Amino acid sequence: MSVAIDTWIIVADDAAVGGLIEFGRLRAAKLVAVVAGRKSVADEVAAAGVDRVIWLGQPPEGTPVEAFAPEVARLVGEGLPRVVLGPDTTAGRALLGAVAVRCGGPVFTRVSALDLEGDRVVLTRSLFSGIAECRESVDGGPAILALPSGGQVSATGTPTPVEQVEARPMTIALVVDRRSDEGVAVDLPSAPVVVGVGRGLKTKADLTLIEELATALGAEVGCSRPLAEGVDWMPKDRYIGISGQHISPRLYMAVGISGQLQHMFGVRDAEVIVAVNSDADAPIFSECDYGLVGDLYRIVPALVAALTAVR
């Protein structure tokens, strides 16, 4: 029988926490979001079907959201939910770490399922690139989980009112300058459609084929690890897998990728996987929803032409 669990979600300065809300809703009796960021973030989360939103107020100029960590920890310490979820991002981990210190427990990562057995929260976690699972139980304090945030939230019904609490951020660290890193221009974990390319591609110049397919699909381009750490045709932040990016798009199209488990671990939260591979026995064909057996150099241009024609 399914049992409801009081769950809080910690939100940093990014409202793209759709996956967290979905995960929380599976079990939550009551879903409370604590937002340490701009009001616009709190408003978006409030419209996404949570039961309560606590906003820590507008961060003063130059204050990173991490500066609210003690306040977030204080609120969780007072509310004492059974489960605390937060995004597995730099700011998210800083906030969850403070909560964990306050509650005297660890932060769990790579959690695929959560249950209540008696009075214990039981977590299922993947190990060794997904070939094994372990179950761990959390007794007493809340189970604190850092999870892939899972993309944009969608508005559902009437927004819940945003409650502002008086919160004083630490000001020992201030942002004095922001510069964009041109090499990290991609946010694969939030992309709704991703085309992944692997060693089936013969030359770096052929990446244009993949970019054309991505444009036709409105997708971001990712890759298997050898393309980013091997031949170095793609930046490292674009490789997907156990040691790379974990993505959860609505559609993942894997082109010339064999489907080794280290890669597939990074796409296990994709809704639909389509594979293009010339080897009918490639492991990816037992992992995908739709498979196209054939030469990518024939299939990709045909797909681009077909997609362009229907636009």
Contact positions vs ligand FAD (CB under 6 A): 198-200, 224-226, 239-244, 256-258, 260, 262-263, 266, 276-279, 282, 295-297
Nearer to ligand FAD, 152 or 262 (CB): 262
Q: How far is the CB of 93 from ligand FAD (least distance, A)?
A: 19
Q: How far is the CB of 190 from ligand FAD (least distance, A)?
A: 18
Nearer to ligand FAD, 127 or 170 (CB): 127
Alpha-carbon Rg for the chain in angstroms: 21
Nearer to ligand FAD, 152 or 278 (CB): 278
How big, in percent rounded to 5, are the helix, strand and coil portions of the chain? Answer: 30, 30, 40
Nearer to ligand FAD, 37 or 196 (CB): 196
Q: How far is the CB of 294 from ligand FAD (least distance, A)?
A: 7
Which DSSP category does 94 fall into? H
What is each CA distance from 219 to 65, 134, 190, in whole angstroms? Answer: 30, 34, 11
CA-CA distance, 212 to 305, in Å (whole number)? 10
Sign of the C-alpha dihedral computed for residues 220, 223, 225 and 229 taken in this order: negative
Q: How far is the CB of 239 from ligand FAD (least distance, A)?
A: 6
Nearer to ligand FAD, 30 or 297 (CB): 297
Contact 25, 66 (CB under 8 A): no
What's CA 12's distance to the chain center, in Å?
Answer: 13
Going by their DSSP bridges, the two strands 5-11 and 83-87 should be labelled as parallel
Q: How far is the CB of 100 from ligand FAD (least distance, A)?
A: 26
